[in-house]
């Protein structure tokens, strides 16, 4: 359980909060590259850490992230024109470049002199892994862009979807760190196996035959946390290793050789989150069959037209089909992402969970460790003003699903990660 004070530290990320200050010391993904794919393409609304922003790509192809509000009369720049190197307000024509500097005051006699004194807030951006990242913190504390091991893979090696969702960000973090829920939430009715169709099951059978994993907190790393959920015996069991990169990146365990799966959960504000589902293949583009597979399992969901919101939401019970729940899948909800959202978005009727009255068990060990690691980072920043160690740590480690084959969990993981790194480095050198 968490105290009221610690729960507030963990869940509040707006301006001038310790949690918000901590988030602002990291590079954060804010939208998919494809959302502003072309120079002068339409701008996109983005809300991050309680701040309303506009993302656009200027005429030279540079991605920009600026305040959503024109400083003249407060008009919404979303309705403006992205043209000729800047974003022009639809109300009176004031225009701003990607740095936030005003470059035109067409309705003002102050003209060239006046525009030099007018600017809007802007943030530095980077493009990496099919996403656009932004740094929203103090300019003199900007960390290096993290190396997540993706290298310079082309865009067709990534599949990414950005969702705008209700619910505090850490509820999604906890769900991604919770391995025991997979044995229930994502299972079938008939035999407690995966809810996926035959031939599409990327999860080992032990998840459904041993539904109470033993957690090992393998390392409190500079970047966050590495934890393993151990199922079955040493001879025939397996361990699923999750990686938690502070402040909001979880890598989901996958079998060796499978595409990597990452979940990024960036606070839009305290009661809403930006959830990225991100898949990467290091050596090849995603095929049409693989894209279809991700759609079938619900890893990417259908969106309401013109939005980043799923068609199935709490308002329509996430597409719940009671007959399918009775005869086919444990939930009757279509796909793993929507199943997760149904149980994570609202907790005891609230969009921000109250963690002071929980009943926790051993299976919750990893999410408790994740809370402690995040709180430790926030409190360290409050104490000494420094978050560089976590922000600049090695982020390349993947999450893996490993068969033990007589080894201890630590030995099996160490050997798998060593081979993975050697293979990745060989590929990079080639």
Judgement on whether residues 133 and 251 belong to the same structural domain of the protein: no
Residue 4 has a pLDDT of 92
- Distance (Å, whole) CA 123 – CA 114: 23
Judgement on whether residues 128 and 271 belong to the same structural domain of the protein: no
Domain of 86 in residue numbering reads as: 29-141
Judgement on whether residues 176 and 120 belong to the same structural domain of the protein: no
* pLDDT band (50, 70, 90) for residue 209: low
Q: What's the CATH code of the domain at 62?
A: 2.102.10.10
Judgement on whether residues 46 and 161 belong to the same structural domain of the protein: no
* pLDDT band (50, 70, 90) for residue 207: low
Judgement on whether residues 123 and 162 belong to the same structural domain of the protein: no
The residue to which tokens 């408790």 are assigned: 368
Q: Is residue 342 part of a domain?
A: yes
**In terms of Cα–Cα distance, which of 398, 146, 370, 144 is closest to 262?**
398
Q: Is residue 12 part of a domain?
A: no
Q: Is the model's pLDDT at 420 over the cut of 70?
A: no
Calculate mean pLDDT across residues 127-151: 92
- State which of 112, 141, 170 marks the end of a domain: 141
Judgement on whether residues 82 and 178 belong to the same structural domain of the protein: no
Q: For the chain, give the longest Cα–Cα distance.
A: 81
Judgement on whether residues 126 and 167 belong to the same structural domain of the protein: no
Q: Cis omega before residue 367 (within 30°)?
A: no
Judgement on whether residues 111 and 244 belong to the same structural domain of the protein: no
* pLDDT band (50, 70, 90) for residue 376: very high
Of 125 and 243, more confident: 125
Residue 198 has a pLDDT of 40
Judgement on whether residues 185 and 310 belong to the same structural domain of the protein: yes
Q: Is residue 8 part of a domain?
A: no
Q: Is residue 173 part of a domain?
A: yes
Q: Is residue 264 part of a domain?
A: yes
Q: Is the model's pLDDT at 17 over the cut of 80?
A: yes
Q: Is residue 165 part of a domain?
A: yes
Gyration radius from the chain CA atoms? 23
Q: Which range has highest mean pLDDT (50-59, 206-215, 223-232)?
A: 50-59
Q: Is the model's pLDDT at 216 over the cut of 60?
A: yes
Residue 75 DSSP SS3: coil
- State which of 91, 109, 141 marks the end of a domain: 141
- Distance (Å, whole) CA 298 – CA 370: 26
Of 404 and 28, more confident: 28
The residue to which tokens 């980072």 are assigned: 377
Query: What DSSP line would sit under 118-158, residue for residue?
Result: -B--EE-EEEETTEEEEE-S-GGGPPPPP--S-TT--GGGE
- Distance (Å, whole) CA 389 – CA 220: 13
Q: Is the model's pLDDT at 26 over the cut of 90?
A: yes
Calculate mean pLDDT across residues 111-122: 88
Calculate mean pLDDT across residues 2-11: 95
Contact 242, 252 (CB under 8 A): yes
Judgement on whether residues 258 and 400 belong to the same structural domain of the protein: yes
Share of the chain above pLDDT 70, in %: 92
Calculate mean pLDDT across residues 169-184: 91
CA angle at 334 for the pair 333 and 340, rounded to the nearest 5°: 65
Q: Is residue 308 part of a domain?
A: yes
**What's this model's pTM, rounded to 2 decimal places?**
0.91
Q: Is residue 5 part of a domain?
A: no
Calculate mean pLDDT across residues 158-166: 95
Judgement on whether residues 272 and 207 belong to the same structural domain of the protein: yes
- Distance (Å, whole) CA 390 – CA 340: 28
φ, ψ for residue 263 (rounded to 5)?
Answer: -120, 125
* pLDDT band (50, 70, 90) for residue 354: very high
The residue to which tokens 């610690």 are assigned: 6
Query: In total, how many domains does the chain have?
Result: 2
Calculate mean pLDDT across residues 233-259: 85
Q: Is the model's pLDDT at 219 over the cut of 80?
A: no
Residue 201 has a pLDDT of 43
- State which of 141, 163, 187 marks the end of a domain: 141
Calculate mean pLDDT across residues 332-355: 94
Q: What's the CATH code of the domain at 332?
A: 3.90.380.10
The rounded mean pLDDT for the chain is: 88
């Amino acid at each position: 359980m968490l105290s009221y004070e610690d729960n507030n530290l963990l869940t509040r990320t707006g301006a001038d909060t310790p949690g918000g200050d901590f988030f602002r010391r990291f590079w954060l993904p804010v939208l998919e590259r494809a959302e502003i794919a072309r120079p002068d393409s339409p701008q996109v609304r983005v809300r991050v850490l309680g701040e309303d922003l506009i993302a656009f790509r200027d005429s030279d192809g540079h991605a920009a992230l600026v305040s959503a509000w024109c400083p003249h009369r407060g008009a919404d720049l979303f309705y403006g024109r992205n043209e000729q190197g800047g974003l022009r307000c639809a109300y009176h024509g004031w225009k701003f470049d990607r740095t936030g500097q005003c470059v035109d005051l067409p309705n003002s006699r102050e003209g060239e002199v006046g525009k030099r004194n007018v600017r809007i807030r802007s943030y530095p951006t980077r493009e990496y892994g099919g996403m656009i990242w932004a740094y929203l913190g103090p300019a003199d504390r900007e960390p290096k862009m993290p190396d997540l091991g993706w290298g310079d893979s082309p865009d067709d090696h990534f599949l990414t979807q950005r969702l705008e969702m209700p619910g505090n960000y850490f509820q999604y973090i906890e769900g991604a760190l919770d391995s025991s829920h997979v044995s229930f939430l994502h299972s079938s009715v008939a035999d407690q196996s995966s809810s996926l169709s035959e031939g599409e099951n990327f999860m080992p059978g032990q998840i459904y035959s041993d539904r109470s994993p033993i957690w090992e907190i393998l390392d409190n790393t500079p970047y966050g946390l590495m934890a393993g959920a151990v199922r079955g015996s040493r001879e025939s069991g397996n361990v699923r290793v999750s990686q938690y990169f502070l402040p909001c990146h979880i890598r989901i365990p996958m079998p060796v050789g499978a595409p990597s799966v990452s979940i990024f959960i960036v606070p839009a504000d305290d009661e809403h989150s930006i959830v990225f589902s991100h898949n990467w293949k290091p050596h090849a583009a995603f095929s049409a069959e693989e894209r279809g597979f991700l759609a079938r399992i619900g890893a990417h969901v259908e969106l309401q037209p013109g939005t980043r919101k799923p068609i199935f939401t709490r308002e329509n019970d996430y597409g719940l089909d009671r007959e399918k729940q009775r005869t086919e899948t444990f939930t009757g909800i279509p796909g793993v992402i929507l199943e997760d959202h149904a149980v994570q978005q609202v907790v005891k009727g609230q969009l921000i969970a109250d963690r002071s009255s929980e009943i926790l068990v051993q299976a919750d060990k990893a999410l408790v460790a994740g809370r402690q690691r995040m709180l430790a980072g926030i409190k360290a920043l409050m104490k000494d003003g420094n978050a560089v160690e976590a922000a600049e740590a090695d982020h390349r480690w993947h999450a893996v699903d490993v068969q033990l084959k007589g080894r201890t969990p630590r030995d099996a993981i160490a050997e798998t990660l060593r081979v993975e790194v050697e293979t990745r480095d060989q590929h990079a050198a080639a």
